């Protein structure tokens, strides 16, 4: 209720009371002139706030006039009570407006507080940017907050939808592990210093991501890379042993990760270079089992078929003493033929033509062993056409230097 309207209401009520009081006074003057012939009444204060009627002795009145007097007395009593109420209302009006204003302010603060709690970092940044812009242009912070902060033109439902979406974004921030993996994969393709840097970075992050198989198989791969570029036998063996342990941990952590099986198999194959014949054959079995599992989990990966082809070719070239030891220790020696090796190398070429220089070299070896010299020559020519920048390709080039003269290439 506006203050002006309340004053008009009070003045109107008081005017009505005054009119009724004036009528009573006039009637009292009229009645005093007839005091000697009728029962009178005396108009007096009954208390500090109202008025009352007191009957006085006098000659009797007709019944109609007595009834009128009774009604008039009741009316005056009602007017007195109404006046008391209007006075109380008049006194309460100023504080009533303050109370209404305070209640409205309390509700507004509660609404703003709720909006503040729902505000996400994105909206806070947007608000801060708006306030900063306002300061730069000379506007007040209140104006800036009104434009860019919580008092926006969004409805409650739209605001809630934005908050929910931004909360989901906050729950799924940029994945640190994904960024790390991207960096490590890039370094893996680089030079020797990049490969060493890759291993150092992974070792620094192992405490944080050491329970993630995706991280661990890359650490295994990094040990393999550094093993290949190391110069001393002691360093190579140390990296091979440590890499094999990490690879085993990766497989145990996630048996359904193809790359974990693949790189653990590679480390087992590397360790065979430093073990006794007994451990070499044992690692050969482990190598084959994990390669089979990697192919089962990821059948379109050419690296697994290339490694399996290398294993098959190596087994086909085992000496009699190595086969005898294998049969003595394990009951049955590993079995594979040159045809098995050729099949896997051809699978690599099918999945990824010109996969590597070494794959062409081993295709040439298989064809040569099988007496298919023309095909062997073609593979040698294909291998020679590829560059020899990496260490692996340097190994392939050495193989070619022996193989090409034997084939007349």
Here the CATH number for the domain that contains residue 215 is: 1.25.40.10
Residues 285 and 322 in one domain: no
CA distance 250 to 243: 10
Residues 201 and 267 in one domain: yes
Residues 306 and 351 in one domain: yes
Residues 266 and 248 in one domain: yes
Domain's final residue, options 242, 268, 291: 291
Domain residue limits at 304: 300-408
Q: Is residue 121 part of a domain?
A: no
Counting the structural domains of the chain, the total is 2
* Tokens 């661990």 sit on residue: 216
Residues 282 and 308 in one domain: no
Residues 323 and 261 in one domain: no
pTM: 0.56
Residues 271 and 311 in one domain: no
Residues 282 and 186 in one domain: yes
Q: Is residue 322 part of a domain?
A: yes
Domain's final residue, options 291, 308, 331: 291
Q: Is residue 83 part of a domain?
A: no
Both tokens assigned to 104: 């409205």
Per-residue pLDDT of the chain (409 residues; tens, 9 = 90+): 445 555 555 556 555 655 655 555 555 555 555 444 444 444 444 444 444 444 444 445 566 667 777 777 777 777 777 777 777 767 766 666 666 667 667 666 666 555 444 444 444 444 444 444 444 444 444 444 444 443 333 444 444 544 454 444 444 334 889 999 999 999 999 999 999 999 999 999 999 999 999 999 999 999 999 999 999 999 999 999 999 999 999 999 999 999 999 999 999 999 988 887 778 778 888 999 999 999 999 999 999 999 999 999 988 988 887 777 777 776 677 789 999 999 999 999 999 999 999 999 999 999 999 999 999 999 999 998 887 667 777 788 888 888 888 888 7
């Amino acid at each position: 209720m506006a203050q002006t309207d309340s004053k008009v209401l009070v003045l109107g009520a008081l005017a009505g009371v005054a009119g009724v009081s004036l009528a009573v006074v006039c009637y009292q003057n009229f009645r005093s002139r007839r005091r000697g012939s009728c029962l009178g009444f005396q108009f007096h204060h009954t208390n500090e706030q109202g008025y009352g009627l007191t009957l006085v002795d006098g000659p009797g009145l007709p019944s109609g006039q007595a009834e009128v007097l009774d009604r008039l007395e009741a009316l005056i009593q009602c007017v007195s009570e109404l006046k008391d109420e209007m006075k109380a209302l008049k006194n309460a009006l100023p504080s009533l407006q303050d109370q209404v204003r305070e209640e409205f302010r309390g509700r507004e603060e509660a609404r703003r507080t709720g909006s503040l709690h729902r505000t996400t970092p994105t909206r806070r940044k947007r608000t801060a940017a708006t306030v900063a812009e306002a300061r730069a242009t000379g506007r007040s912070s209140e104006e800036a907050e009104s434009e860019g902060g919580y008092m926006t033109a969004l409805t409650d439902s739209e605001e809630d939808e934005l908050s929910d979406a931004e909360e989901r974004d906050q729950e799924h921030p940029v994945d640190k592990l994904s960024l790390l993996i991207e960096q490590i994969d890039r370094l893996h393709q680089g030079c020797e210093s990049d490969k060493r840097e890759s291993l150092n970075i992974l070792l620094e992050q192992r405490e944080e991501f050491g329970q993630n198989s995706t991280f661990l198989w890359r650490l295994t791969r990094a040990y393999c890379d550094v093993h290949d570029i190391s110069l001393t036998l002691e360093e190579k063996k140390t990296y091979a042993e440590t890499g094999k342990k990490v690879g085993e941990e990766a497989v145990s952590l996630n048996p359904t990760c193809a790359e974990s099986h693949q790189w653990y198999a590679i480390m087992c194959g590397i360790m065979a270079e430093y073990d006794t014949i007994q451990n070499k054959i044992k690692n050969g079995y482990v190598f084959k089992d994990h390669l089979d599992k990697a192919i089962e989990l990821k059948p379109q990966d050419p690296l697994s078929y290339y490694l399996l082809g290398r294993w098959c070719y190596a087994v086909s070239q085992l000496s009699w003493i190595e086969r005898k030891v294998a049969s003595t220790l394990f009951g049955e020696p590993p079995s594979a033929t040159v045809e098995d090796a050729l099949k896997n190398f051809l699978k690599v070429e099918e999945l990824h033509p010109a996969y590597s220089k070494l794959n062409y070299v081993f295709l040439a070896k298989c064809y040569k062993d099988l007496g298919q010299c023309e095909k062997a020559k073609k593979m040698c020519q294909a291998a020679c056409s590829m560059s020899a920048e990496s260490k692996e390709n340097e190994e392939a080039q050495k193989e070619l230097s022996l193989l090409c003269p034997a084939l007349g290439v």
